């Protein structure tokens, strides 16, 4: 039962983290067209700050913490090729999270380096990774090639 409770909270934290990873780049799409230090610019900065620091980052840490607890109870997962691939994609999501933090800091400094189209494109990255991770979790394919 303890394992199922941990797994449930792990899933809740993953969902919270994913919501932020999907929404923050969308905020950047609209934020990119604002003028630095305008009222709407300050509003976007506040929204992005709160999303990043009050939802996404805590959810990231809780996801990892509970994930480590789950894996500790099932060390044989490391031998599974699908699980190794899943860990790689989760690592990619983590790198993406920190990249979004850098983009937020650029907006905060008033930089508008990228075009709006760039933010529309990177908005799809967490969706693709999420689909791959979910497929790996449920299908559990054997990815080893002999």
Q: What is the pTM of this model?
A: 0.94
Flag whether 144 is in a domain. no
Q: What is the pLDDT of residues 59-106, one digit of tens each?
A: 999 999 999 999 999 999 999 999 999 999 999 999 999 999 999 999
Flag whether 98 is in a domain. yes
Flag whether 146 is in a domain. no
Q: What is the pLDDT of residues 95-131, one digit of tens each?
A: 999 999 999 999 999 999 999 999 999 999 999 999 9
Quote the CA–CA distance of 58 and 62 in Å, as a whole number. 6
Quote the CA–CA distance of 25 and 30 in Å, as a whole number. 9
Q: How many domains does the chain have?
A: 1
């Amino acid at each position: 039962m303890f394992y199922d409770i941990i797994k449930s909270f792990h899933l809740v934290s993953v969902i919270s983290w994913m919501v932020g990873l999907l929404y923050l780049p969308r905020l950047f799409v609209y934020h990119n067209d604002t003028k630095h230090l305008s009222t709407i610019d300050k509003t976007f900065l506040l929204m992005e700050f709160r999303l990043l620091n009050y939802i996404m980052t805590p959810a990231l840490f809780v996801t990892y913490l509970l994930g480590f607890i789950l894996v500790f109870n099932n060390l044989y997962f490391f031998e599974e090729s699908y699980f190794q691939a899943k860990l790689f994609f989760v690592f990619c999501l983590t790198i993406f999270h920190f990249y979004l933090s850098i983009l937020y800091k650029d907006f905060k400094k008033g930089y508008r380096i990228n075009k709006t189209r760039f933010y529309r494109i990177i908005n799809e990255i967490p969706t693709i990774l999420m689909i791959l991770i979910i497929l790996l979790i449920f299908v559990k394919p054997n990815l080893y090639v002999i």
